[in-house]
Amino acid sequence: MYKAKHTAKAINKRKRGNSVFQAAGILMITMMLSRVLGFVRDITISSIFSAGRYADVYTAAFTIPDLIYFALVGGALSSAFIPVFSGYLANHKEEDAYIVASTILNLVSIAALVLIALGMIFTPQLVDLLFQFEDEETIALTILLTRVMFAQCFFMCLAGISQGILQCYKEFAIPAFGAVVYNIAIIVVGLLLHQKFGILGFTLGVVVGSMLNLAMQIPAMVRYQFKYRPVIDLHHPGVKKFFLLFMPVILGLSMNELNLIVSQALASGLSEGTIYALKQAQRIMMLPVGIFAASIGLSVFPTMTSHVARGEMAEYKQHLTMGLRTIIFITLPAAVGLAALSHPVVRAMYLQLEVTPAQVDMIAVCLVFYCIGLVGYSAQQILNRGFYAVEDTKSPVLINVFVLVFNIVASFLLVGPLEHRGLAMAYSLSGLLSMVVLGVFLRRKIGPYGGRALLKSALQSIIASVVMGIAVYAAAAGMEQVLDMSSKLMQIGQVCVGVGVGVMVYAVMVIAMKMEEAQQVLRIVKRKLHR
């Protein structure tokens, strides 16, 4: 009996672990698809409106509604909401969960409507304040598009909360596909309407996409029997706890933005094109963070909060460690691979798109230095949530303030001798420092959480990544020597070959070293094939 009981418990643990991996896999695929569709969307707009003015206006029109969305629903809300809502679900207090979720939903709806109304009234003043357009026609078009964009802000805010609720029910596929549908709608509606309405057609596509994104969430919430309540209960303990968690997270996220502002401010004093180069290189570096690390962090977070709510600290630590090991396992080779292929990747993405070879070189160099900190910023995705799961949102804020000060000092010290490379290096060192400090302080708070296994996994990933990086660089350099890389097709082919070599070499290395992470992935793949 004892043996059977514990065997069943072990099986359930494996199932929960596998479900997390499967959820992360779904999120990775959909996020990658969403990013690709976003790129297709931008290329489509640029190709149709080749003059450039309309594309600039379209981009500018996003600015103010995006500020409202991130202020109300951005990463801060889910980080504060999920621990509270999951805690009630884990302890079978569904009515409390519904009251908290409904209260937050109603408050965000009211706040969004008020801000949208004010934004639409004062759109001309806001456009004049934020943008330096001189042509009256361009200003008028920006005002029109911005006002239309405000409509999508309301639907995206509601969708953001709905997605947080569904993630607490361990439903990740539908919220993730919402972003895919959003981009598809923009492209389809824009192509159908642009001949009649111009760039306004794509703006209307944004509104339609946001409505469809929300509409996708509602049937799933009904299926999980979520019960909306028309209440605003500010005295409910769960609502009070939410706001206590919410405010520090807002401050923490602002610290990350300030890091970028510092870099851009110092870059403005360097040669022309430095700000653009740093921005584009940082954007490329963050792709693996957004696709892989964020997916793993999102998939593990609700499970960790549920374990904490039930007092299952060992299981919480197990998922925390598993998340960290998986992130390092994936993002470390991504960092090395991006650094080895920095020039081919940048050349394939930007050359012949009004970017000079000199700018390509600058972006590529910046990318190499940014890649140093890629693992650090990836690990933050799970370490921050490790604090949030135990309802500690203050510690990450204090650590972020310390890291911000470090970034400012390092930027000033390195910008002189290294110029743009120094700014990228300072940003990377800040990410690595943040990872270390977050890890140390989290250990102090919760106790040991598999440090030896984590270190072993990291060392194995480093060895495999170094060997992979050498092979990738050699493959790319070899193609450079024997083939003409002037065509876009050959540039893309070089990147694809480099990625293919990297995946194969890394796979062989991790299998040879019998890494547990590789074995886990193989088990999931085998199960899928058998099904």
In sequence order, what DSSP letters do the residues of 145-206 get, joined into one string?
HHHHHHHHHHHHHHHHHHHHHHHHTT--HHHHHHHHHHHHHHHHHHHHHHHHHTHHHHHHHH
Which residue type occupies 445? Answer: K
Cα distance between the two ends of the chain: 31
CA 357, CA 193: separation in Å to the nearest integer? Answer: 36
Q: What is the 3-state secondary structure (H, E, C) of 342-378?
A: HHHHHHHHHECCCECHHHHHHHHHHHHHHHCCHHHHH
CA distance 171 to 299: 9
How deeply is 245 buried, as exposed, middle or buried, from its count of CB atoms within 10 A (0-12, 13-18, 19+)? buried
Answer positive or negative: Cα dihedral of 132, 182, 385, 528: negative
11 pLDDT higher than 70: no
Tokens 């290329």 belong to which residue? 43
More confident position, 489 or 333: 333
Q: Name the DSSP class of 472.
A: H
For tokens 């028309």, the residue is 230
In the numeric block, which tokens belong to residue 245? 């968690």
Cβ within 8 Å of residue 136, ≥6 positions away: none
Residue 46 has pLDDT above 80, yes or no: no
**Is the model's pLDDT at 45 over the cut of 90?**
no
Planar angle of CA 211, 212, 218, nearest 5 degrees: 95
Bridge partners of residue 136, in order along the sequence? none
pTM score of the predicted model:
0.76
The answer for 391, left when phi > 0, alpha when psi is -120 to 50, beta otherwise, is left
The beta-strand segments (E) located in 458-507 are none
The stretch 489-513 carries a mean pLDDT of 92
Instruction: Give the Cβ contact number of residue 451 at 10 Å.
Output: 11
The mean per-residue pLDDT over the stretch 367-379 comes to 95
Q: What is the pLDDT of residue 416?
A: 85
pLDDT of the residue at 8: 39
Query: What integer pLDDT is reported at residue 10 of this predicted model?
Result: 40
Task: With cut-offs at 50, 70 and 90, classify the pLDDT of residue 504.
Answer: very high
Q: What is the pLDDT of residues 151-198, one digit of tens each?
A: 888 898 888 889 889 988 888 888 888 888 998 999 999 999 988 888
**Whether the Cβ atoms of residue 142 and residue 203 lie closer than 8 Å to each other:** no
The encoded tokens of residue 206 equal 């944004």
Give, in degrees to the nearest 5, the angle at Cα 114 between 112 and 118.
Answer: 115
Beta bridge partners of 307: none
The tens digit of pLDDT for each residue in 236-292 reads 999 998 888 887 877 766 666 666 667 767 776 777 667 778 878 888 898 898 888
Band of residue 7 on the pLDDT scale cut at 50, 70, 90:
very low
Nearest C-alpha neighbor of 393 from the set 257, 297, 251? 251
Q: Say which residue the tokens 């690990």 belong to.
A: 379
Report the mean per-residue pLDDT for the chain. 83
Any idea what DSSP says for residue 95?
Answer: H
What pLDDT score does 13 carry? 47
Instruction: Output the CA angle 468-472-478, nearest 5 degrees.
Output: 145
Mean pLDDT of 79-107: 89
